[in-house]
Amino acid sequence: MIVIAATKNKGKVREMQEILFPLAIEIISQEEAGIELDVEETGDTFERNALLKARAVAMVCDYPVLADDSGLCVDALGGAPGVHSARYAGEDATNSEKINKLLNELGNNDNRNAKFVTCVAFIMPDGTEIIAKGEVKGHITHAPEGNNGFGYDPIFFSDELGKTFAQSSDEEKNSVSHRGRALRSLYEKLKEM
């Protein structure tokens, strides 16, 4: 099955491809499909924003569409940056700027518990919508560690892997990540249909 990914984030596209290819789902990014859309993420939940992105792309193509809205929720920051993870340090901020802002906000707080959350929205050409979610728990390191992955990966220490996501291979990250779990849950729902 060929699916259009309703995202402009290249890190997400790569992970979607790696996770879904073994399940016989081929991901093509909206950019590769020639779809130029900038969807404003006005929702206050991951689910609402995933649906906003998926619906916008589904309106202009005849393929199944998959959107991912995700973020990092830090306990001591009341769940921030959460749905605002992409623009936490401003519209055009780099990953380093976002990471530095988060580390500064957290300071030396002993409670460094955090989780990554993903909500995926899948829309079939007949308009059927399927939602699936995934989470992974861990904690925020005191400094960035590792160069793999994207976004906040260098400061997210996965309890299950015993290292940061940026110190992990793609395969290791995908095996426990919020995105891996959400996409495998989506696949199970699709199989049942």
Q: Which residues are catalytic?
A: 69
# binding residues, ligand ITT (CB under 6 A): 22
To ligand ITT, the closest distance from the beta carbon of 118 in angstroms equals 7
Residue 7 sits in the site that holds ligand ITT (CB under 6 A): yes
Q: Between residue 18 and residue 77, which ones bind ligand ITT under the rule CB under 6 A? A: 41, 53, 68-72
* Alpha helices (H) in the chain, listed in sequence order: 10-20, 46-58, 95-106, 170-176, 178-192
Tokens 């623009």 found at? 87
Per-position b or e across 132-162, b if 16+ CB within 10 A of its CB: bbbebebbbbeebbbeebebbbbbbbbeebe
Residue 9 sits in the site that holds ligand ITT (CB under 6 A): yes
Residue 141 sits in the site that holds ligand ITT (CB under 6 A): no
Residue nearest ligand ITT (C-beta atom): 151
Helix, strand, coil abundance in the chain, percent, nearest 5: 40, 25, 40
- If residue 193 lies in a helix (H) or strand (E), which one and from where to where? none
Q: Please tell me whether the peptide bond between 144 and the residue prior to it is cis, using omega within 30 degrees of 0.
A: no
To ligand ITT, the closest distance from the beta carbon of 84 in angstroms equals 8
The single residue among 174, 179, 180, 186 that binds ligand ITT, judged by CB under 6 A, is: 179
Binding site for ligand ITT (CB under 6 A): 7-9, 12, 41, 53, 68-72, 85-86, 116, 149-153, 165, 177, 179
